Amino acid sequence: MENLSKNIIITGANRGIGFELTKQFSAAGYHVLATARKPLQAVKLIELADNDDNNISIFKLDVTSKLSVDNFGKTIADIPIEILINNAGILDTYESSIDEINLVDFAEVLTTNTISPIRVMRAAMPGLRLGNTKKVVNLSSFMGSFKGQSNGAHAYRTSKAALNRAMQIFGRELADEGFIVMNLHPGWVKTEMGTEAADIDVVTSVTGLLKIIETTKLEDVNQILGYDGTNLSY
């Protein structure tokens, strides 16, 4: 594995956008370190890895578990990583007022969507420092925008706004080392999270994301970009 030059980590690779990212990056010649919290149940991913000339290796990773992230970090510590994609995420309920909101669930969303990408990034830092590209990509959302006028999904919106801010600051601090940290909005995508009512399919979203991920340069990173290149900076 160490001899393959373009290693990319994708979290939440067993379904949705993460699965399609795995498919398209492996087809583009990358070796994908595809992570799933329940790899034995990741039937589609296993099937893809089996049919893909060993361009995909599957790792167990629950991004909210310190132990799981530490173990993953140790396993990959000596491998040069070109790109980390923090894709795993959860959405809370849309329907909750100040009187009803469940703050335990709120904290779980913040842990998964904000704290965990930071933890995974830290675990991947040794490998990213060995790589040439040094890109960290976060699947953010326009729902985190302060400009957005919609209500509900308080925890999700808050978690993505905080993710954008934290990653923007880490990105600035790591720029001198050549790191490129990006926050990308994939569009409203037909997945379990996005539902069938969404605007676009995963292929359209990921085709756009892949292009942006491969072409973004350091000078472009202080923006939140849509899958189609639209600047959604808040």
Ligand X SMILES: NC(=O)c1ccc[n+]([C@@H]2O[C@H](COP(=O)([O-])OP(=O)(O)OC[C@H]3O[C@@H](n4cnc5c(N)ncnc54)[C@H](OP(=O)(O)O)[C@@H]3O)[C@@H](O)[C@H]2O)c1
Under the rule (CB under 6 A), what is the footprint of ligand X? 11-12, 14-18, 37-38, 61-64, 87-90, 112, 139, 141, 185-186, 188-189, 191-194, 198
Q: Which candidate, 130, 172, 175, places its Cα nearest to that of 9?
A: 130
The residue among 142, 12, 156 whose CA lies nearest residue 92 is: 156
CB of 99 to ligand X, least distance (A): 26
Residues 6 or more apart whose Cβ sits within 8 Å of residue 123:
69, 70, 72, 73, 76
When the beta carbons of 61 and 128 are compared against ligand X, the nearer one is 61
Integer Cα distance of 118 and 40 in angstroms: 26
- Helix orientation angle between 154-174 and 103-110, rounded to the nearest 10 degrees: 30
Least spacing, CB of residue 21 vs ligand X, in Å? 9
Closest to ligand X by CB, 79 or 88 = 88
Output the smallest distance, CB 121 to ligand X, in A.
14
Minimum distance from CB of 35 to ligand X (Å)? 7
Smallest gap, in angstroms, from Cβ of residue 93 to ligand X? Answer: 14
Compare residues 218 and 229 and give the one whose CB is closer to ligand X.
229
Q: How far apart are the first and last CA of the chain?
A: 39
Using the minimum distance from each CB to ligand X, give the nearer residue, 125 or 200.
Answer: 200
Tokens of 91: 């959405």
Report the residue number, 80 or 121, with the smaller CB distance to ligand X. Answer: 121
123 phi and psi angles, rounded to 5 deg: -65, -30
Both tokens assigned to 31: 């070796």
